[in-house]
Structure 1
């Protein structure tokens, strides 16, 4: 299960480079064999997707497949999400005010039917994405794309937005064959949300320029990809990829016995224990877990007291919480996970001080405070969230705080969380694209998540709000990264969010494969970069 920022539990984020990207002769970062493909790669994962239409998709499984079928202007290579690399665009430039971005398309790039990729295809795809008004559309709000000529695309932003190049690497911004999809009901008009009829076609046929095309999509069972014989870049190592729907327990059993080309995408936490040493394990800490407190005294006189939040922050055993996540777990630092630019560095891990917690409670006039604590009763990335909540309860008890745990089905949890009436709770958070922008917007005072905590003033709102404004005003990656650090320190000092721990996304590969690397870029693993071990 992947929780993202438009649901309360997660968010996937990004920023971008402002210097021109040098041209490359082939697909950036895809290290498959350049010879003909002859074998099959098996990918085991618990399916989370509704569609394979790039403009409408937003779930993990869909993104894995879409990244292989649809090239975007830029991309990220391997585990690196620091700087977008060339893909359909061989280079780009950014204006000093971060409002105008000019992309030059590479020559020779074609769609799977041999049609050249043009600037008009790019403009159509980005307009359609915005006008479909799907889950990803909000990230592209305020952007306008125009075709200067057949190989030049200019994207302008209403506000300074150094994140634009990163957005151009998202699976949602994959470029469609304009002429082909319009024949099957696609439109980029302002009424696309109701007028576009291409989803049914795109769920059964690819219309991109990526290294793979869609052979078969059987929802709930498997997605089968085959190599694109007209691919303009480096050919992938495998002629077919079969993405199979499989629960985590069976993924572990299968990988324990795997000898052929096979990878698993959902083994983490305790499920990594006991795996053969011959398997490769790639991880990046791209998820944080945090507790939230309601700042409205009408909801809770306890959680609305800023000194209670500070006491809780001092009471938590951070290394002990991190240990619950097993391999891949990390001690809490900040709201930006360690995998992303702008994260707090080593040495800024939060520390426990039970005596300080007791002193803060006394200063707050809270004697043996009690507060309800809601959480989704699910296992997320191999860890039962009830185990995490129980650990928080025990840590708080050591300081004299009574946490009343209320496990809820996910739907019920989301309803209470969104309703702004939960005194206290906990959720994991992952970014929608690899930058801090969206998390700063939604979690700062006045943001969507902050509103659920009724947080617009007090509780450190002035300092956090000022740091957020500094972040959003920055016009370069470097400046935004510095501002993200300042913002997180302000949030750690005094806010209604309590960092608990970080955890990793994981890709496990059989002894037969190479390049099975987990990426925090949003698509989990680049299927075309998985190679054959010689």
Structure 2
């Protein structure tokens, strides 16, 4: 059992004087429907091979099933889903899954291992964003048909093309949308010009999940209805309605009136205000994603480790940002490996120390500091972090201008390695595995511009440490758990002594406010918050 500090979900308890009654009268929504308010700005596709981000994961997980699922309360534990059981061969190069025989798609067609194999092969053939993780395991469009195959209707076999940790592969199957099984025949019936049904699946669903897509009007409304033939117990809700809402004040008002049951993406002041209402409860889910400050080590100034140490270790007010800017958004975390894993280490002793920073800058030939820019997405909490950083950099003699922009503008500059400082958010996938975060944040096997390893944020920052890379690679291939843990700890200790170009500040919290009548809602760290067991207790 993981320590409480790692549990991904925590419900904020309200003061005792509030929970005795329901408080002011409100208009409850129908008992058999769930009304959700959230931003759908980043919900661009429902195709499991193409969709990215938490918005898509939150919705698509209700239309599709995966071979395995990760326990929301303990993300190191996997449990059966479409696969009743699975085995890992000696040496870890073959994964064999025995599938359930009683699963049908929404179309009524039986789900078989052939559909599961084709779904994964399709991800690689389309070669869109979600193919990246599978390519990192050695799978390609060319080898997919032989490496991922159905031996019979109920048996799926995956032969790993290159040595890797099979546990990481299993976790990817359990957490990534790319692991969802789609109805091959329905999808191919809508194929256009060899797109393997991608255009159609962008706005439709062909899965075996507890809900079926009813209607989707992008950036307006999405509705889903209870599936007629779900293989588990039928969903307890008849219908779910998701409304596109971006204004925190509007979400707050509608929750208070009883016009919404669940809402996310609100500002911290609005969440605090709603937490005082007796009919509402606040829940926080820890994500693997980290808020960070990054510098461009390809820039001559930040190529000097003394400058990186001054900026990233001594001119960030870690405690102040965590306590003043990030409540309901994130919790203090200064290492790339999140807490609660066997390889996790205590927080390092980094602290705001302008005197030490000025001394390092003087040693680097910058006694008068320098001028620089901070790129930041123009929304909370990023702007709050950037404003704090601007002030603390000034105490070290660094004069920083803030350049707010869209996600494409900010992260585009990072992908092109044309920035100086960035306040961002990123990190590993949903896998509760040290490699997931280290690979995403600091691993960089080829630092050449021509390598274009833009999925690696280590590459984006222009920082590469061969010894750090070696430790990460060796740990991944070490099957002995104790030896693997020791290597991942060495990698983190290496980061303590050698300053990389990216510095985590906090682990992301995804905060939702729910009506107390909503029961069975368990936010999932991967974003796959399945609603099949959610129901509402009537107070009328």
Q: Normalised by the shorter chain, which TM-score bucket?
A: 0.7 to 0.9
- In structure 2, the partner of 1:397 is 394
Q: Aligned partners of 1:258 and 1:480: how far apart in 2?
A: 50
The question of whether the paired residues in 1 share the 8 Å contact of 2:290 and 2:426 is answered with: yes
- In structure 2, the partner of 1:196 is 195
> Where does structure 2 lack aligned partners over 5 or more consecutive residues?
1-29, 140-146, 447-452
Residue 41 in structure 1 maps to residue 34 in structure 2: yes
The question of whether the paired residues in 1 share the 8 Å contact of 2:385 and 2:423 is answered with: no
Picking from 511, 518, 521, the partner of 1:513 is 518
Please state how far the C-alpha of 1:205 moved relative to its aligned partner.
4.3
In the TM superposition, 1:278-317 aligns within 5 A as 278-286=279-287, 287-296=289-298, 299-300=299-300, 302-312=301-311, 313-317=313-317
1:472-511: per-residue Cα shift (whole Å, max 9, x none)?
A: 3234777655544433332343212223333311222112
Change (3 A) 1:476 1:419: same
The question of whether the paired residues in 1 share the 8 Å contact of 2:475 and 2:487 is answered with: yes
The SS at the match of 2:61 is helix
Change (3 A) 1:521 1:491: same
- In structure 2, the partner of 1:364 is 364
Change (3 A) 1:180 1:294: closer
The question of whether the paired residues in 2 share the 8 Å contact of 1:74 and 1:87 is answered with: yes
> Where does structure 1 lack aligned partners over 5 or more consecutive residues?
1-36, 187-193
Residue 148 in structure 1 maps to residue 151 in structure 2: yes
- In structure 1, the partner of 2:494 is 490
Give the alignment's Cα RMSD to 1 decimal.
2.6
- In structure 2, the partner of 1:7 is none
The SS at the match of 1:69 is coil
TM-score by length of 1: 0.82
Q: Aligned partners of 1:58 and 1:503: how far apart in 2?
A: 17
Please state how far the C-alpha of 1:368 moved relative to its aligned partner.
2.1
Residue 180 in structure 1 maps to residue 214 in structure 2: no
Q: Aligned partners of 1:512 and 1:478: how far apart in 2?
A: 45
Count of matched residue pairs: 478
The question of whether the paired residues in 1 share the 8 Å contact of 2:314 and 2:356 is answered with: yes
Q: Aligned partners of 1:409 and 1:450: how far apart in 2?
A: 21
Picking from 39, 44, 56, the partner of 1:50 is 44
1:168-193: per-residue Cα shift (whole Å, max 9, x none)?
A: 1222221112233222228xxxxxxx
The answer to which of 268-277 and 306-315 deviates more is: 268-277
In the TM superposition, 1:53-202 aligns within 5 A as 53-141=47-135, 142-143=138-139, 144-159=147-162, 160-162=164-166, 163-169=168-174, 170-185=176-191, 195-196=194-195, 198-202=197-201
User: Highest relative contact order (Cα 8 Å, sep 6+), 1 or 2?
Assistant: 1
The question of whether the paired residues in 1 share the 8 Å contact of 2:308 and 2:501 is answered with: yes
1:223-274: per-residue Cα shift (whole Å, max 9, x none)?
A: 11111121110221101111111113222222222277x1113235344120
The question of whether the paired residues in 1 share the 8 Å contact of 2:331 and 2:507 is answered with: yes
Moved over 6 A (4+): none
Change (3 A) 1:368 1:376: same
The question of whether the paired residues in 1 share the 8 Å contact of 2:304 and 2:364 is answered with: yes
Q: Aligned partners of 2:116 and 2:187: how far apart in 1?
A: 13
Picking from 422, 429, 432, the partner of 2:429 is 432
Q: Aligned partners of 2:79 and 2:480: how far apart in 1?
A: 17
The SS at the match of 1:504 is strand
Please state how far the C-alpha of 1:88 moved relative to its aligned partner.
0.3
- In structure 1, the partner of 2:444 is 445
Q: Aligned partners of 1:129 and 1:359: how far apart in 2?
A: 51
The question of whether the paired residues in 2 share the 8 Å contact of 1:309 and 1:498 is answered with: no
